[in-house]
Amino acid sequence: MGSNSALLRRLFETAVAAVTPQACMTDLVNNLPDGKIVVIGAGKAAASMAAEIEKHKSAELSGLVIVPYGHAAACEHIEVVEAAHPVPDSSGVVATRRILEIASGLSASDQVYCLISGGGSSLMIAPVDGITLADKQTITSALLKSGATIGEINCVRKHLSAIKGGKLAAACWPARVRTVVISDVPGNDVSLIASGPTVHDQTTPADALTVLQHYSIDTPRSVRSVLEKSVVVNSDFAEDVSIVATSDDAIAAAAKLAESAGYASLVLGDLEGDARELATSHAALAISIASGTGPASPPLIIFSGGETSVKVTGSGRGGRNSEYALALAIALDGHAKISAIACDTDGIDGSGDNAGCLVSPHSLTRASELSMDPHAYQANNDTYHFFDALDDLVITGPTRTNVNDFRAILVDR
């Protein structure tokens, strides 16, 4: 793939750089209020967001944020705790309990900055009465494999939690809470990002039960009992939410680089849906463009973001982006003019240690030379090992930001 591979990697790196806290929080940290600030929050970017606040205000600063293992950043005044993602663990429970203790001791004169980014749903974990951590782990694991959307998954999470769905903001009352968000959900619905701990929830326990039933989730009796008995509690608190980075920002930065390299851009925006189906659709679009029958002309790069879903039926290793990439490679069938990259902006794609994968016109040919059947790898959800064998994994390590998926399909003349 040569120069195309290098350009695709640069596009991804540029996209990520545009949505780091260092790049997107400048206005906010230059206008921090005087007086005591308490910082709380969770997510893959929470520690790097906290570090940006510390750079501009060290006096009268305290708090605690929770990040996935490996996503910490050095902070002096704000404690950083690591916990498990995407399935929660006891470290997350203990740290969340401490956040709730901090929140319950605040007064009307206190100013709270709640730092929220993707991944916060599994990190900020406080099971409601009657639910155990094991129950939450069981439900989360099943939902993640079911093909459910992030909205559906987080609907269930909210109604099994004592902190999600606005409950953290209610716990902070009467303190003033400003929520600072790096968005990882399509449409930037702040009630979904980290399951909206400081945002009013419009869903109900009945909605959560419907999700579990729709995806035939084996639901523990304790979970069903809680959801059947729960009632909606309308907490009265003011929302003050600032979204400082989104997928659109990442794609805009990459599109600018593409233009400088001589490529037009076709931006499809934030997308959801099954990863394989989306890849098949995108392959057809790219092929039509390459043949001169599409909505635009090459040389061109097709950009999209969002969050796809995968219904896991195999026992292999992989993630949304590698599932998309393999399905794309299969659908392109070695098209000579088309190459692509699909990565998660947090640097971790599913169960792999990679951000994502590269697809070249030679992907299937090289796999055949190694006696690898792409359809067999796809059926086993073993997409990580497929691209690993081709040396086409994109490995960055944790980026300490997260606006979810980044996909770029390059169509040459």
Q: What tens digit of pLDDT does each residue of 223-276 get?
A: 999 999 877 666 778 899 999 999 999 999 999 999 999 999 999 999 999 999
215 and 298 belong to one structural domain: no
- Looking at residue 407, its amino acid is R
E strands along 154-289, which residues?
A: 176-182, 241-245, 264-271
Q: What percent of the chain has pLDDT over 90?
A: 94
pLDDT digits (tens, 9 = 90+) for 357-411: 999 999 999 999 999 999 999 999 999 999 999 999 999 999 999 999 999 999 9
Residue 138 sits in a domain whose CATH number is 3.40.50.10180
288 and 407 belong to one structural domain: yes
265 and 282 belong to one structural domain: yes
Query: What average pLDDT does range 205-218 have in this prediction?
Result: 96
pLDDT of amino acid 8: 98
- Above 50 in pLDDT, residue 41? yes
Q: What percent of the chain has pLDDT over 70?
A: 99
327 and 406 belong to one structural domain: yes
217 and 289 belong to one structural domain: no
Query: What average pLDDT does range 66-79 have in this prediction?
Result: 96
Q: Are strands 405-411 and 338-344 parallel, antiparallel or unpaired?
A: antiparallel
Query: What average pLDDT does range 111-127 have in this prediction?
Result: 97
167 and 51 belong to one structural domain: yes
Q: Are strands 37-42 and 176-182 parallel, antiparallel or unpaired?
A: unpaired
174 and 317 belong to one structural domain: no
214 and 67 belong to one structural domain: yes
3-state secondary structure 268-315: EEEECCEHHHHHHHHHHHHHHHHCCCCCCCCCEEEEEEECCECECCCC
181 and 259 belong to one structural domain: no
Contact (Cβ atoms closer than 8 angstroms) between residue 126 and residue 155: no
pLDDT of amino acid 97: 97
369 and 241 belong to one structural domain: no
Rounded Cα distance between 295 and 286, Å, is 10
pLDDT of amino acid 236: 76
pLDDT of amino acid 205: 94
Residue 251 sits in a domain whose CATH number is 3.40.1480.10
Rounded Cα distance between 152 and 148, Å, is 6
- Above 50 in pLDDT, residue 94? yes
Q: What are phi and psi of 201, to 5 degrees?
A: -100, 130
Last-in-domain residue among 230, 245, 260: 245
237 and 301 belong to one structural domain: no
Paired residues of 65 in beta bridges = 41, 80
320 and 179 belong to one structural domain: no
Query: What average pLDDT does range 44-66 have in this prediction?
Result: 94
Half-sphere exposure of 212 (CA within 13 A, CB side): 24
Contact (Cβ atoms closer than 8 angstroms) between residue 329 and residue 317: no
pLDDT of amino acid 370: 98
Instruction: Tell me how many domains the chain contains.
Output: 2
Domain residues for 83?
21-245
CA–centroid distance for 19 within its chain: 13
Q: For the whole model, what pTM was predicted?
A: 0.93
pLDDT of amino acid 1: 45
pLDDT digits (tens, 9 = 90+) for 4-32: 999 999 999 999 999 999 999 999 999 99
Query: What average pLDDT does range 84-91 have in this prediction?
Result: 96
